[in-house]
Chain A
Amino acid sequence: MRSSLLRAEYRRTWWTEKIVKGVLFGMALISVLTTVGIVFVLLRETISFFLQVSPAQFFLDTRWTPLFASKRFGIWPLVNGTFLVTLVALVVALPLGLLAAIFMSEYAGTTLRRWLKPVLEILAGIPTVVYGYFALTFITPLLQRIFPQTQVFNALSAGLAMGFMILPLVASLSEDAFSAVPYSLREAAYSLGATRLEVATQVVLPAAFSGVTAAFILAFSRAVGETMIVAIAAGQQPKLTLNVLESIETMTAYIVQVSLGDTPHQSIAYLTIFAVGMMLFLITLTLNIISHFVAQKVREVYQ
């Protein structure tokens, strides 16, 4: 009697273990399904798009006017806008972020660092609409005072705000790369009589090179995918230009523009946002993969 009860209890536990493990595995699979879902949704609508618009037009035309009466579907103006803003953002974020990281890892003492890190974390935690507001209501008027020909919506203002938004990312990832450099390397250089600057730029920076590069590429990817700042401050005029004071449109801002209107399901405008989204997904995915492999290199060296 006793032993059969025990056996029942035992069997119940055994089943619980099996079921729990299965359920947890299912939860782990959700992340895989998310990726599958993204690829599936983007692919399905992109294929419908290309059934109506030839890939040749998409990649060769130089005009993007899917919402006008005379529709043109050349992706390059949007890509141009995206990379223009990204370039401005990186010009701000990369040098400043790298300098900040060097300062925190090679110069600042523990107390100072304990104060500086949270500030950068706050900067990173501010919602992007806030940066958009700041770009439109503060940076743009400032720019207009310096360059009178600045348009109300322009790439420069959005790019600058975006630069300060991704600065903390560059700083914290680069700092991680610096702190992965073993102390013995620095000590060896110091013992040879190198100054702090020489240690930082000629020993630590080269040793952390792949980590810093990975951080830069990740920042690039983040800038390309950033949406709200450009939707608020960069405008809605897709064009091929290198003038940062003009109004442009990025891929992300275009998706927002269409989403705000009431586009009927399966209309060509509805399909364009998936084609543009696919382009965006492929660009960021490529950058993320490159960043991943570059970062992997540093780990192999110092293990």
Chain B
Amino acid sequence: MNRVPVLRNPTEDDLKRRHRKGMIFAALAFGAILLAILVLVTLLIDVFLDGLPWLRPELFTQFPSRFPEKAGLRSALQGTFWLMILTAVMAIPMGVGAAIYLEEYATKGRLTRWIEINVANLAGVPSIIYGLLGLGLFVRGLGLGRSLLAGAMTMSLLVLPIVIVSSREALRAVPRSLREAAIALGATPWQVIRDHTVRYAMPGILTGVILALSRAIGETAPLITIGALTYIAFDLRSPFDLFTVMPIQIFNWVSLPKKEFQALAAAGIIVLLVMTLLMNALAIFLRNRLQQRW
């Protein structure tokens, strides 16, 4: 870090050589990005070529089946939809509440610091470990079985750090002066938060929530670990029902030997990618559109 670049006497030849080296490096670095883009494009083309012929109405209306031409994503779509709703219902209040506490109430003490380190650490725990937590705590401990509710609870804990971190950032971006103005008019701390801070921070919080859900929609490992089943041939009726989700159905089809199922998996991937990208696009749109400038 203390090393100063040793520059020799810049004769013309030397300088040319150094610049040539620079050009080669720049090309190399740009090549690295191009390679990443190339892989992304190849992946998308590969998936679309494989899956497009199977992207037909039956894919959305049929239950899974042993026969590829009859198999569809009906139960997986229902599972994913309700899992997202339940996860949002649980993770949003918990995450935003925790963020409000840490940002607006907590004093800089040992306890606060502990909670912060803990949130940062949780964000780095592999998702499959959350699956083991869900299996031990919700499926067995609370006796919820392999139900949609157990899956949603596991998933909410998984995305909780994302919601907390992004909500805190959004709250932090609200200028002090707004809070002080409200306090000056006699508002209590909670009134300030409820009527002012949270409202101004809403776009940021919303963006974080959508990003958290777009992560949750593609998560597979924790749900497999809690034992979400792949063969579900009935409509979801209650949170205590067995369930399956899109990525698990895709995983199941990928691991079947028949060629048609691989193509079916590709069709499922197209649907999943469209959903994920739409959510991401929505988040970016919200971030740019609703962003307040102070």
Could you tell me which A residues sit within 8 Å of B by CB distance?
A: 13, 16-17, 20-21, 23-32, 34-35, 37-38, 41-42, 44-45, 95-97, 99-100, 102-104, 107, 116, 118-123, 125-134, 136-138, 164, 167-168, 171, 189, 192-198, 200-203, 206-207, 209, 218, 221, 224-228, 231-232, 252, 255-256, 259-260, 265, 273-274, 277, 280-281, 284-285, 288-289, 292, 301
Could you tell me which B residues sit within 8 Å of A by CB distance?
A: 1, 3, 5, 7, 10, 18-19, 21-22, 25-26, 28-33, 35-37, 39-40, 42-43, 46-47, 50, 93-95, 97-98, 100-102, 105-106, 114-115, 118-122, 124-133, 135-137, 140-141, 157, 160-161, 164, 188-190, 214-215, 217-221, 224-227, 247, 250-251, 254-255, 262, 265-266, 269, 272-273, 276-277, 280, 284
What separation, in Å, do the CA atoms of A38 and B160 have in the docked complex? 14
Question: Counting chain A CB atoms within 10 Å of each CB, which of B46, B120, B221 scores highest?
Answer: B221
What separation, in Å, do the CA atoms of A227 and B247 have in the docked complex? 13
Complex contacts, A128 vs chain B, CB 8 Å: 218, 220-221
Complex contacts, A284 vs chain B, CB 8 Å: 124-126, 129
What separation, in Å, do the CA atoms of A168 and B33 have in the docked complex? 10
What separation, in Å, do the CA atoms of A65 and B239 have in the docked complex? 37
Complex contacts, A168 vs chain B, CB 8 Å: 36
Least distance between B194 CB and chain A CB atoms (Å) = 9
Given contacts A28-B101, A41-B132, contact A103 B122 (CB under 8 A): no
Name the contact of B114 in the complex, choosing from A32, A44, A171, A226 (C-beta under 8 A): A32
Complex contacts, B7 vs chain A, CB 8 Å: 192-194, 198
Name the contact of B128 in the complex, choosing from A125, A133, A277 (C-beta under 8 A): A277
Which B residue sits closest to A32, measured CB to CB?
A: B118
What separation, in Å, do the CA atoms of A202 and B28 have in the docked complex? 17
In the complex, the answer to whether A189 meets B121 with C-beta atoms within 8 Å is: no
What separation, in Å, do the CA atoms of A73 and B136 have in the docked complex? 22
13 more CB-based (< 8 A) A-B contacts, given A99-B28, A232-B255, A259-B224: A125-B214, A129-B251, A129-B254, A130-B218, A130-B273, A196-B22, A197-B25, A198-B7, A225-B126, A273-B132, A277-B129, A280-B128, A284-B125
In the complex, the answer to whether B276 meets A127 with C-beta atoms within 8 Å is: yes
Complex contacts, A226 vs chain B, CB 8 Å: 126
Name the contact of B22 in the complex, choosing from A195, A274, A281 (C-beta under 8 A): A195
In the complex, the answer to whether B121 meets A192 with C-beta atoms within 8 Å is: no
Q: Classify the interface of chain A: helix, strand, loop or mixed.
A: helix
What separation, in Å, do the CA atoms of A30 and B130 have in the docked complex? 14
In the complex, the answer to whether B277 meets A122 with C-beta atoms within 8 Å is: yes
Write 23 A-B pairs (CB below 8 A) sorted by A numbering.
Answer: A17-B189, A17-B190, A20-B190, A21-B190, A27-B94, A28-B102, A31-B115, A31-B119, A32-B114, A107-B29, A116-B33, A123-B39, A127-B276, A129-B269, A133-B254, A137-B50, A138-B42, A206-B3, A228-B221, A255-B131, A256-B224, A256-B225, A259-B226
Given contacts A38-B129, A256-B128, A292-B120, contact A197 B224 (CB under 8 A): no
Which A residue sits closest to B23, measured CB to CB?
A: A197
In the complex, the answer to whether B97 meets A24 with C-beta atoms within 8 Å is: yes
What separation, in Å, do the CA atoms of A60 and B164 have in the docked complex? 42
Least distance between A49 CB and chain B CB atoms (Å) = 13
What separation, in Å, do the CA atoms of A224 and B125 have in the docked complex? 11
Name the contact of B115 in the complex, choosing from A32, A195, A232 (C-beta under 8 A): A32
In the complex, the answer to whether B26 meets A103 with C-beta atoms within 8 Å is: yes
In the complex, the answer to whether A35 meets B160 with C-beta atoms within 8 Å is: no
Given contacts A24-B105, A103-B29, A192-B7, contact A129 B220 (CB under 8 A): yes
Given contacts A121-B280, A129-B247, A288-B121, contact A99 B5 (CB under 8 A): no
What separation, in Å, do the CA atoms of A281 and B141 have in the docked complex? 21
Name the contact of B18 in the complex, choosing from A197, A221, A285, A289 (C-beta under 8 A): A197
What separation, in Å, do the CA atoms of A189 and B224 have in the docked complex? 53
Given contacts A103-B26, A130-B47, A132-B251, contact A225 B129 (CB under 8 A): yes
In the complex, the answer to whether A285 meets B121 with C-beta atoms within 8 Å is: yes
Which B residue sits closest to A265, measured CB to CB?
A: B140
Which A residue sits closest to B6, measured CB to CB?
A: A202
Complex contacts, A194 vs chain B, CB 8 Å: 5, 7
In the complex, the answer to whether A134 meets B277 with C-beta atoms within 8 Å is: no
Per CB-CB distance, the 5 closest pairs between chain A and chain B, nearest first, are: A225-B126, A127-B218, A27-B97, A41-B136, A103-B29
